[in-house]
Structures are given as C-alpha cells and as structure tokens.
Chains A and B, each alone.
Chain A
C-alpha cells in the first residue's frame, strides 16, 4: 500500500504563468516518456521480478515516479493560474482549454491521451530491465528538450532536478 506525504519532493514556485510552456511540459505527465507511464511500468513489472533486490528497486523507483508526476503536475498547474481568455488564445492553450479548462489531464504535448501502450511488462527480467534503462534515457532526453524550450528559471530549476533523477534511476537499473 501507499501513504501520501503532504510535500513535494522538490519545490515548485513559479511566479509567471505561461500556458504555451504548460502545453509542452504536460507531456512529462501523460506523454509517451512521462512520469505516469514510468510509475505504471515499474509498478507493473515488479511482481514477477526474479529477486527481492529487483522488486525493491522497481517498487521504490516506481514510487518516486509518482512523486515526479506530482512535481510535473504542480508545474503545469502553476503555469496555468489566473489566465485571461486572451492569454489562453495567444499561448495556443485554447485547444487544451476547450476540453479540460485548466484541469490536469494526462496527455502528450501533441494532445494524445495517456496510454499504457507506451510501455511493456513482459515477465522477462532482462527484457523489462533493458526497457527500463531505455525509458530513463527517453525521459532524460524529453527533459533536455524542455530545457531547450524553457527560459524561465523558476521552471528550469525543478525540470533540472527531474532530469538528474532520470540519470540516477538509469544507474540503479543497470546494477542488478
């Protein structure tokens, strides 16, 4: 079971709303290499893992990914606070707004809804762990691309933290 801690793993404090950037960053919530998919991947794979240490790594990294989903969601939430209709239109946020207003919906930047088709749970530990290594690199690359697109230091700071965690997770998945 899980118990919620009423704090973010890393702080998010964004002064300036930016709906265009929110529409990009939401991809790390529900996109193909996002945190929701990461959590679901590891937390699905762990049951048939071959030894207790691998069950531990999958459980603990899967749990941390839920915390990262919360950080990404907090970034999107704070970037879409108090928007005027003019800002929504000018930021290209109107196509999201029409379906979700400013509610958090797990989707890719392209608008494709979250799908479990983005990950596997094969029951074969070599296959699963190799997918997990690639998944951490894909998430790291997505954060690198977000850093190419984001100027605001309030946004870049938590994104850099999330990027570094992908590198640590990659390291841990390579050790079993």
Chain B
C-alpha cells in the first residue's frame, strides 16, 4: 500500500476508534459534556477522513461507492488481505 493511502487509512482508523470509545463511554455517561465534545470532534474528523479516502481510493461504506463506471464495493480488495493493512 502506498504511503499516502496508508496514512489516510490510519487517520480513518484512529478517528473511527476514538468514536467507538466515546460511544461506549457515552452509553453509560450520556450527559457527560466532555465526552460529548470529544465525540463531536472525532466524529467530524472521521467523516472527513472517510470522505477523502473514499474519493481517492475505495469505498468504506456503501454510501461511499463511486458508481460512475462499476460497482467498486465488490471490485476493490477486502480488508482482511495483508495488502489492505
């Protein structure tokens, strides 16, 4: 995987993970202002990183498929392959 793609995927994973952590914490602390702020920050950065990755490389969700020429959801590699990590 080229360096730019790898860096962008790392950013997707990092903010995606922060969102999961915030989500679980907020489930048991649903009015924690600090956690809500943390969630908003990383959710925004996650969405931006996903949009950039999907526009340059491959879909992460079906809503990110570029359907102009082919069904990239199926034609691009799957994430359990070494080359995709």
In the complex, how many angstroms separate the beta carbon of A125 from the nearest chain B beta carbon? 14
- Specify the main secondary structure of chain B where it touches its partner: helix
In the complex, which residues of chain B have a beta carbon less than 8 angstroms from the beta carbon of A151?
A: none
Size bin of chain A's contact surface: 20 to 34
In the complex, which residues of chain B have a beta carbon less than 8 angstroms from the beta carbon of A172?
A: 24-25, 27-28
User: How many chain B residues have a CB neighbour from A under 8 Å?
Assistant: 26
CA distance A23 to B26 in the complex (A): 37
Of the candidates A4, A10, A60, which one forms a contact with B13 in the assembled complex, judged by CB atoms under 8 Å apart? A10
Q: Does A20 contact B (CB under 8 A)?
A: no
> CB distance A175 to B28 under 8 Å?
yes
Chain A 56-96 near chain B by CB (<8 Å), digits 1 or 0: 11001100100000100110011000000000000000000
In the complex, which residues of chain A have a beta carbon less than 8 angstroms from the beta carbon of B21?
A: 168
Instruction: Count how many pairs of residues, one from A and one from B, have CB atoms less than 8 Å apart in the complex.
Output: 71
> CB distance B82 to A6 under 8 Å?
no
> CB distance B16 to A168 under 8 Å?
no
29 A-B pairs (CB sep. < 8 Å): A4-B61, A5-B16, A5-B61, A6-B59, A6-B73, A6-B76, A6-B79, A7-B9, A7-B16, A7-B60, A8-B80, A9-B13, A9-B16, A9-B20, A11-B13, A11-B85, A15-B82, A57-B27, A60-B24, A60-B27, A61-B24, A64-B20, A73-B80, A77-B80, A78-B82, A168-B21, A172-B25, A172-B28, A175-B28
Q: Which residues of B contact A (CB under 8 A)?
A: 9, 12-13, 16-17, 20-21, 23-25, 27-30, 58-62, 73, 76, 78-80, 82, 85
